[in-house]
Amino acid sequence: MTQLSQLVTIKDHFLGSLDSPATLLEYGDYQCLVCRLAFPIIKQLLKEMNGKICFVFRHFPLKTSHPLAFEGAKAAESAALQNRFWEMHNLLYAKQNELHPSIWPKLAEELHLDIEKFNTAFHSSLIEEKIQNEFMAGVRSGVNGTPCFYINGNRFDGDASYDNLKKVLSDQFL
Protein backbone atom coordinates (compact mmCIF):
# COMPACT_ATOMS: atom_id res chain seq x y z
CA MET A 1 0.00 0.00 0.00
CA THR A 2 1.42 3.36 -1.04
CA GLN A 3 1.07 6.28 1.32
CA LEU A 4 1.16 10.03 0.82
CA SER A 5 4.62 11.48 1.14
CA GLN A 6 3.17 14.89 2.03
CA LEU A 7 0.43 14.88 4.64
CA VAL A 8 -2.68 17.01 4.22
CA THR A 9 -2.43 20.41 5.90
CA ILE A 10 -4.33 23.66 6.13
CA LYS A 11 -2.26 24.84 3.13
CA ASP A 12 -4.03 22.35 0.85
CA HIS A 13 -7.20 23.15 -1.07
CA PHE A 14 -9.92 21.25 0.78
CA LEU A 15 -13.67 21.07 1.22
CA GLY A 16 -15.01 19.89 4.55
CA SER A 17 -13.15 19.65 7.80
CA LEU A 18 -9.61 18.37 8.16
CA ASP A 19 -10.94 16.63 11.29
CA SER A 20 -13.41 14.54 9.28
CA PRO A 21 -13.25 10.76 9.81
CA ALA A 22 -12.33 10.27 6.15
CA THR A 23 -10.17 12.33 3.81
CA LEU A 24 -10.37 11.76 0.08
CA LEU A 25 -7.42 13.31 -1.74
CA GLU A 26 -7.21 13.54 -5.51
CA TYR A 27 -4.15 14.24 -7.57
CA GLY A 28 -5.78 15.62 -10.69
CA ASP A 29 -5.27 17.30 -14.03
CA TYR A 30 -7.71 19.80 -15.53
CA GLN A 31 -7.34 18.40 -19.04
CA CYS A 32 -7.83 14.75 -18.01
CA LEU A 33 -11.13 13.27 -19.19
CA VAL A 34 -11.21 10.70 -16.38
CA CYS A 35 -10.72 13.49 -13.82
CA ARG A 36 -13.67 15.32 -15.36
CA LEU A 37 -15.75 12.14 -15.11
CA ALA A 38 -14.75 11.76 -11.45
CA PHE A 39 -15.69 15.38 -10.71
CA PRO A 40 -19.50 14.85 -10.37
CA ILE A 41 -18.91 11.68 -8.35
CA ILE A 42 -16.86 13.63 -5.82
CA LYS A 43 -19.44 16.41 -5.70
CA GLN A 44 -22.17 13.86 -4.96
CA LEU A 45 -20.09 12.18 -2.26
CA LEU A 46 -19.46 15.54 -0.60
CA LYS A 47 -23.17 16.33 -0.69
CA GLU A 48 -24.33 12.99 0.69
CA MET A 49 -21.54 12.52 3.22
CA ASN A 50 -21.59 16.13 4.39
CA GLY A 51 -19.51 16.55 7.52
CA LYS A 52 -18.08 13.05 7.35
CA ILE A 53 -15.50 13.49 4.61
CA CYS A 54 -12.93 16.04 3.63
CA PHE A 55 -11.96 16.37 -0.03
CA VAL A 56 -8.50 17.60 -0.97
CA PHE A 57 -7.33 18.47 -4.47
CA ARG A 58 -3.69 18.58 -5.51
CA HIS A 59 -2.33 19.38 -8.94
CA PHE A 60 -0.72 16.70 -11.07
CA PRO A 61 -0.64 18.21 -14.57
CA LEU A 62 0.52 15.71 -17.15
CA LYS A 63 2.14 18.25 -19.45
CA THR A 64 3.15 15.80 -22.16
CA SER A 65 -0.31 14.35 -22.81
CA HIS A 66 -2.29 17.37 -21.58
CA PRO A 67 -0.45 20.52 -22.71
CA LEU A 68 -2.99 22.91 -21.12
CA ALA A 69 -3.18 21.17 -17.74
CA PHE A 70 -0.34 23.16 -16.19
CA GLU A 71 -1.91 26.44 -17.29
CA GLY A 72 -5.25 25.23 -15.92
CA ALA A 73 -3.55 24.63 -12.58
CA LYS A 74 -2.05 28.13 -12.80
CA ALA A 75 -5.53 29.56 -13.39
CA ALA A 76 -6.88 27.71 -10.34
CA GLU A 77 -4.00 28.87 -8.14
CA SER A 78 -4.33 32.43 -9.42
CA ALA A 79 -8.02 32.37 -8.51
CA ALA A 80 -7.09 30.91 -5.11
CA LEU A 81 -5.20 34.10 -4.31
CA GLN A 82 -8.59 35.82 -4.54
CA ASN A 83 -10.27 33.08 -2.47
CA ARG A 84 -11.94 31.55 -5.52
CA PHE A 85 -10.03 28.30 -6.02
CA TRP A 86 -13.08 26.04 -5.93
CA GLU A 87 -15.06 28.24 -8.28
CA MET A 88 -12.24 28.11 -10.84
CA HIS A 89 -11.77 24.37 -10.21
CA ASN A 90 -15.44 23.78 -11.02
CA LEU A 91 -15.31 26.04 -14.07
CA LEU A 92 -12.21 24.34 -15.47
CA TYR A 93 -13.93 20.96 -15.43
CA ALA A 94 -17.21 22.39 -16.74
CA LYS A 95 -15.39 23.99 -19.67
CA GLN A 96 -12.73 21.33 -20.20
CA ASN A 97 -13.59 20.97 -23.90
CA GLU A 98 -13.09 24.73 -24.39
CA LEU A 99 -9.63 24.99 -22.83
CA HIS A 100 -7.30 27.09 -24.95
CA PRO A 101 -4.40 29.45 -24.11
CA SER A 102 -6.70 32.47 -24.57
CA ILE A 103 -9.41 31.24 -22.18
CA TRP A 104 -7.70 31.93 -18.83
CA PRO A 105 -8.57 35.65 -18.59
CA LYS A 106 -12.11 34.91 -19.82
CA LEU A 107 -12.60 32.42 -17.01
CA ALA A 108 -11.27 34.99 -14.53
CA GLU A 109 -13.74 37.55 -15.87
CA GLU A 110 -16.57 35.02 -15.62
CA LEU A 111 -15.75 34.65 -11.92
CA HIS A 112 -15.53 38.46 -11.51
CA LEU A 113 -11.92 38.28 -10.38
CA ASP A 114 -9.62 41.26 -10.35
CA ILE A 115 -8.08 40.64 -13.79
CA GLU A 116 -4.87 42.53 -13.11
CA LYS A 117 -4.21 40.51 -9.94
CA PHE A 118 -5.18 37.32 -11.74
CA ASN A 119 -2.79 37.98 -14.65
CA THR A 120 0.06 38.92 -12.32
CA ALA A 121 -0.44 35.74 -10.31
CA PHE A 122 -0.85 33.61 -13.46
CA HIS A 123 2.62 34.64 -14.63
CA SER A 124 4.20 34.35 -11.19
CA SER A 125 7.03 31.92 -10.60
CA LEU A 126 5.61 31.30 -7.10
CA ILE A 127 2.44 29.82 -8.61
CA GLU A 128 4.47 27.61 -10.93
CA GLU A 129 6.65 26.50 -8.03
CA LYS A 130 3.61 25.57 -5.91
CA ILE A 131 2.18 23.43 -8.71
CA GLN A 132 5.54 21.79 -9.35
CA ASN A 133 5.91 21.05 -5.62
CA GLU A 134 2.51 19.34 -5.57
CA PHE A 135 3.44 17.38 -8.68
CA MET A 136 6.71 16.19 -7.12
CA ALA A 137 4.95 15.28 -3.86
CA GLY A 138 2.64 13.17 -6.01
CA VAL A 139 5.58 11.48 -7.72
CA ARG A 140 7.10 10.69 -4.30
CA SER A 141 3.72 9.25 -3.26
CA GLY A 142 3.62 6.92 -6.26
CA VAL A 143 1.23 8.88 -8.48
CA ASN A 144 1.74 7.86 -12.08
CA GLY A 145 -1.49 9.05 -13.68
CA THR A 146 -4.68 10.97 -13.05
CA PRO A 147 -6.92 10.86 -11.26
CA CYS A 148 -5.07 9.23 -8.39
CA PHE A 149 -6.92 8.96 -5.09
CA TYR A 150 -5.79 8.55 -1.51
CA ILE A 151 -8.12 7.77 1.38
CA ASN A 152 -6.80 8.75 4.79
CA GLY A 153 -3.30 8.89 3.34
CA ASN A 154 -3.36 5.48 1.67
CA ARG A 155 -3.47 5.09 -2.09
CA PHE A 156 -6.80 3.86 -3.42
CA ASP A 157 -6.36 1.73 -6.52
CA GLY A 158 -9.87 0.34 -6.73
CA ASP A 159 -12.76 1.21 -8.98
CA ALA A 160 -13.46 4.92 -8.51
CA SER A 161 -17.19 4.56 -9.11
CA TYR A 162 -19.59 6.37 -6.82
CA ASP A 163 -20.76 3.20 -5.05
CA ASN A 164 -17.27 1.85 -4.50
CA LEU A 165 -15.81 5.14 -3.23
CA LYS A 166 -18.81 5.64 -0.94
CA LYS A 167 -18.35 2.17 0.56
CA VAL A 168 -14.60 2.59 1.12
CA LEU A 169 -15.10 6.06 2.62
CA SER A 170 -17.97 4.83 4.83
CA ASP A 171 -15.76 2.02 6.12
CA GLN A 172 -13.49 4.74 7.58
CA PHE A 173 -16.28 5.73 10.01
CA LEU A 174 -16.44 2.30 11.68
Determine, yes or no, domain membership for 8.
no
Q: pLDDT-based confidence at 51, cuts 50/70/90?
A: confident
Question: Once rounded to an integer, what is the mean pLDDT over residues 31-46?
Answer: 97
- Residue range of the domain that includes 31: 13-165
Determine, yes or no, domain membership for 4.
no
Determine, yes or no, domain membership for 27.
yes
DSSP the chain: --B-SS---TTSEEES-TTSSEEEEEEE-TT-HHHHHHHHHHHHHHHHTTTTEEEEEEE---TTT-TTHHHHHHHHHHHHTTT-HHHHHHHHHHTGGG--TTSHHHHHHHTT--HHHHHHHHT-HHHHHHHHHHHHHHHHTT--SSSEEEETTEEE-S---HHHHHHHHHHTT-
The model's pTM = 0.96
pLDDT at 1: 58
**Domain of 143: which CATH number?**
3.40.30.10
Determine, yes or no, domain membership for 36.
yes
Give the count of domains, the chain: 1
Determine, yes or no, domain membership for 7.
no
- What pLDDT digit, counting tens, does each position of 104-131 carry? 999 999 999 999 999 999 999 999 999 9
Determine, yes or no, domain membership for 96.
yes
Determine, yes or no, domain membership for 48.
yes
Determine, yes or no, domain membership for 174.
no
